[in-house]
């Protein structure tokens, strides 16, 4: 008796990978098969994670600066830039730009 093994590795699964898969074993005399069903669900929602945090910068008046902020999330999120400012002795913030990442 000889043991044989064959694996099927599917990476980066998504719901379109759902379906029937069949392992077929055959020789000159016999053929066997085993069919199974794979169901791929959407990933559960998660709390967004900021994975690229902007750092403090000092700039000269009239020059440009760029800040990059990125996050990982399921499902997709909306991101905004806001500036903290003082109004009548209190601090508040307002959106500068918003959009889909």
Per-residue pLDDT of 42-94, as tens digits, reads 877 778 888 888 889 999 999 999 888 888 887 778 888 887 777 777 766 66
With 0.85 as the threshold, say if the pTM is over it: no
User: What residue spans define the domains of the chain?
Assistant: 49-99
Is 45 exposed, middle or buried, given 0-12, 13-18 or 19+ CB atoms closer than 10 A? exposed
Residue 32: HSE in the Cβ half-sphere, 13 Å Cα cutoff: 2
């Amino acid at each position: 008796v000889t043991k044989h093994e064959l694996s099927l590795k599917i990476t980066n699964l998504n719901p379109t990978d759902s379906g029937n898969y069949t392992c077929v074993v055959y020789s000159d005399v016999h053929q066997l098969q085993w069919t199974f069903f794979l169901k791929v669900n959407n990933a559960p929602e998660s709390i967004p994670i900021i994975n690229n945090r902007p750092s403090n910068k000092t700039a000269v008046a009239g020059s440009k600066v760029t800040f990059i902020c990125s996050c990982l999330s399921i499902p997709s999120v909306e991101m905004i830039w806001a500036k903290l400012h003082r109004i009548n002795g209190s601090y508040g913030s307002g959106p500068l730009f918003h959009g889909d990442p």
